[in-house]
Amino acid sequence: MEIPYIVKARKDTGLTNSKIAIWLFLASEVMLFGGFFSAYVFMRIGADYPWPERTLPVLPGLINTFILIASSVTVVFAWAALKLRKWRQFQIFMGATVLCAAIFMCLKAVEYNVKFHHQAVRLNDYSIIEGHLDYKKDKDKNYIKKDGKKIEYNLINIKAESVIFSTVRFHKPWVEQILEQAEEQGSKMVLTEPYQGADGRADAKTTYVEAGTELSLDLLLKIREQHLKARAHNQKLRADALRCAWQIAKDANPGKRGWEISDQVGVDAEKLKPDMLTEMGAISFKIDSAAKLSFKPKNIKEADGQSRLRDDTVIKGKLLESPMKFHHVDAIDFQYLAMKAVQKGIDPMVAIENSWIIQNADFAKEAWEWHCEEVEKLEKELAKQDREPTLKDRYRIGWKEFSKKAEQEGMTDMGDWTILEEFKGPNYAARGEETFPHLAVPRGEIAFASKFVPQWNTYYAIYFTITGLHGLHVIGGALVLGYYLFFGRRMYETNPEWLANRVEVGGLFWHFVDLIWIFAFPIFYLM
């Protein structure tokens, strides 16, 4: 049976089945992205912190805009070529469309990669420092690598005396990490007290592990297995006893409902105690000579004396200095600090001068004094147009400002930033350490730290959500159009009009993808 209106349109609507379907689908997509854009606008209006503005590099976004517009034109030309039965032209234009999609995604990947490696930290006084973290080096100043990746200088260091593992929740990679670090320092971790376990039988209480046994992953796995067996055995005993108690209560009170006799139901723990197996929820290991253990900040809640990993492993010992070391600082932002100062009735300039970074980093103090002079010049220029500097102009020193300062002081003669820097950020090697100096931030001064990812703030959360979802639409649309390009020959030879209809539907979706980006570009990149 042939399905009607696949090739020929309905006379009453002038539409084929596929065109009706794509319009319904696009209507749902409009509601989806409309909700995202509306949420962005309302969150920006009601934000309780300085909303990032003109944060993203404009050039990559602008290029991507023209790329998508060009691809919308080429997909129309590809459809027109099919209508004219010109297969070779169709291949050229459709190939150009798919190529534009690939270039778009490559530029977006570069942009994402920069964000994933750019570090930001908010201090306790609400000032913000941005840049790239340093990496750990050995005695010969070679980068230390683990699993092929360099280790960032952003670790919590503890002089550990003992470690207490949860017998059920311990995370294998962290156990291996602790063992590896202890072994490198020649320290041994041994069991503090004997472990009492059982194999699930009420008459089989046995000491499986003696005190002084050295820690190993296999040992913890064995202990976890025994603990889970003991827990299952004890749960079964309690369930059977409770079931029996309910039956006795029902027999003694015929005709009554469960809730009426619930106060008569109970389990005598003392009677069950002889048959219960020992459950040890935690097991402790002492370190014969205190070892320095290091963990990523996201994996541990540090405190002097006792810190806790996310798998409930407890590290007992002294919290060592664990600074966050920036290899290069390329931005200092006082907008949040200034806003908080105004709320407290404090002069923002006084609050900035008393901030930690101004008080403790000479380069920051010099940069701020230079920036204040530049703001005065900007105020005079804008006053002629009856305008004034924005909060970003007043209170943020970006990498371009750092570069301008270095050029004025003769520290570098690189001149204006290059096009490549618009994509990948400042060229630290060419501009020198004088332009973007090093900085070590004490752990106690850090209120919050993150890469430029959704965790950092609401702006980046929505940015990655919308642009990521849009990128998936680009990939999906490119795959469909690519299928018509590489596998549409047989369809063209048997029923060219059907292929033309499919390409038209794919083109409608592609135009929608272009339209979404035209909205996203000014909202994220220009405003």
**Mean pLDDT for back-to-back runs of 10 residues, the chain (527 residues):** 57 64 87 93 90 89 95 95 93 96 95 93 96 80 74 88 92 93 91 73 60 90 87 89 87 81 81 83 88 91 92 93 91 95 94 96 94 93 90 93 86 66 82 86 92 93 95 95 91 84 90 95 91
Using CA of residue 291, residue 296, residue 298, residue 304, what is the dihedral sign?
positive
Rounded to whole angstroms, the Cα distance separating 77 from 82 reads: 9
3-class SS of residue 479? helix
User: What pLDDT, on the 0 to 100 scale, is given for residue 93?
Assistant: 96
Residue 516: half-sphere exposure toward Cβ, Cα within 13 Å: 26
| pLDDT score for 203 | 52
Residue 512 and residue 500: Cα distance in Å, rounded? 19
Cβ atoms within 10 Å of 487's Cβ, excluding its own: 9
Looking at residue 366, its pLDDT comes to 94
CATH architecture of the domain with range 17-118+455-526: Up-down Bundle (1.20)
Q: What is the pLDDT of residue 257?
A: 81
What is the pLDDT at residue 271? 84
Report how far residue 124's alpha carbon sits from residue 357's, in angstroms, rounded to the nearest whole number: 11
Long-range contacts of 111-115 (CB under 8 A, 24+ apart): 111/56, 111/57, 111/60, 111/423, 114/423, 114/424, 114/425, 114/452, 115/451, 115/452, 115/453, 115/460
Beta-carbon contacts of 104 under 8 Å, excluding residues fewer than 6 positions away, are 64, 67, 68, 71, 474
Query: Which pLDDT belongs to residue 1?
Result: 46
Beta pairing partners, 314: 164, 308
**Residue 525 near residue 56, CB atoms below 8 Å:** yes
The answer to whether the beta carbons of residues 289 and 278 sit under 8 Å apart is: no
- Beta-carbon contacts of 355 under 8 Å, excluding residues fewer than 6 positions away, are 123, 125, 127, 334, 337
Residues 6+ apart with CB under 8 A from 20: 13
| Residue among 150, 79, 195, 520 nearest 327 (CA) | 150
Which H or E element spans position 307? strand 305-309
Q: How far apart are the C-alpha atoms of 310 and 152, rounded to whole Å?
A: 20
61 burial level (CB within 10 Å; 0-12, 13-18, 19+): buried
Per-residue confidence (pLDDT) for residue 499, from 0 to 100: 86
CB neighbourhood size of 131 (10 A): 24
Span(s) in the chain for CATH 1.20.120.80: 17-118+455-526
The CA-atom distances, in angstroms, between 399 and each of 217, 428, 463 are 47, 10, 22
Beta bridge partners of 163: 285, 315
